[in-house]
Amino acid sequence: MTLSLAGKTFVVMGVANKRSIAWGIARSLHNSGARLIFTYAGERLEKNVRELADTLEGQDAFILPCDITKDEEIEKCFATIKEEVGTIHGLAHCIAFANKEDLAGEFVDTSRDGFLLAHNISSYSLTAVAKAAKELMTEGGSIVTMTYLGGERVVTNYNVMGVAKASLDASVRYLAADLGKHGIRINSISAGPIRTLAAKGINDFNSILKEIEEKAPLRRTTTQEEVGDTAVFLFSDMSRGITGENIHVDSGYHILA
Ligand SMILES: CCCCCCc1ccc(Oc2ccc(Oc3cccc(O)n3)cc2)c(O)c1
């Protein structure tokens, strides 16, 4: 058993720029010998993803759009991937969104639309994508999604995204129960805060980073690289006995009261 992913193909969903967690996962996958397929949402990101993919030596990345809020788009995206490569061996789901006004103030004030939007993009999209990807995982596979501590306990300002992550975390367990018989594992990585484009939507983000540097057991914040390396472990045979699990890559912060 090795961490090598040579000869295997993985779909990475959610690269926005070089600071994205999805890009950290893509780089670790590439360094482990994987072939990569990138999907992005919104034409304006295609150039970013192409430029980043071109920096991966010897990687012949396939890049295509996928708006995960539309079932027909997901179907078309995976039909295209099936034509291009036939079989995939794993998928990284690094997609979430909530309206900025729902990431501040009090959770009790969340609108119905804001609640549904956050759950549609940040939680249901995993189930929709897993259903489509399952058909291409003819040799089994491994799915990894990104979650956060705010789905396990109250983190100020995380609000509706925390409730959506709780839904995502439960989805990982129910999907693991369904997909195991097809040789498909599904797990989550709970990453400590990283300064990404998404983090710009979080009020007072800097104070959280400072608190982590002062209090986390490892006394430092989390990097895209270490999240990427844990993803490679979850995509590799080294984690063949693990499904429905969540691994905290957060310098140990979650163990503190
Ligand atoms: C108050 C919590 C501090 C630590 C938050 C760590 C974290 C950072 C980014 C995370 O990902 C998102 C993704 C989308 C998102 O919604 C956004 C992002 C930017 C603008 C906007 O209007 N919505 C909020 C967080 C995430 O789930 C968790």
Assigned domain for 110 exists: yes
* Distance between CA atoms of residues 162 and 183, nearest Å: 30
| 98 CB within 6 A, ligand 1 | yes
Looking at the structure of the chain, the number of domains it has is 1
Identify whether 212 is part of a domain: yes
Catalytic, 148? Answer yes
pLDDT grade for 16, boundaries at 50, 70 and 90: very high
Length of the chain: 257
Q: Global pTM?
A: 0.99
Q: Determine the structural domain holding residue 187 and report its residue range.
A: 9-255
Q: Are 172 and 165 in contact (CB under 8 A)?
A: no
pLDDT in tens, 146-164: 999 999 999 999 999 999 9
| pLDDT tens-place string over residues 35-63 | 999 999 999 999 999 999 999 999 999 99
Rounded CA separation 28/224 (Å): 9
Q: Residue 141 domain-assigned?
A: yes
Q: What does the pLDDT look like over 80-97, one tens digit per residue?
A: 999 999 999 999 999 999
Residue 1 falls within a domain, yes or no? no
Nearest CA to ligand 1 atom 25: 198
Sign of the dihedral defined by the CA atoms of residues 48, 54, 59, 62, in that order: positive
The answer as to whether 219 is a domain residue is: yes
Q: According to the model, what pLDDT value does residue 97 have?
A: 98
Residue 2 covered by a domain: no
Residue 116 annotated as binding site: no
State the Rg of the chain over Cα. 17
| Nearest residue to 96 (alpha-carbon basis) of 126, 129, 74 | 126
Q: Please report whether residue 32 resides in a domain.
A: yes
Residue 86: which CATH number?
3.40.50.720
Residue 251 placed within a domain: yes
173-202 tens-digit pLDDT: 999 999 999 999 999 999 999 999 999 999
pLDDT of 1 higher than 90: no
Ligand 1 atom nearest the C-alpha of 205 is 3
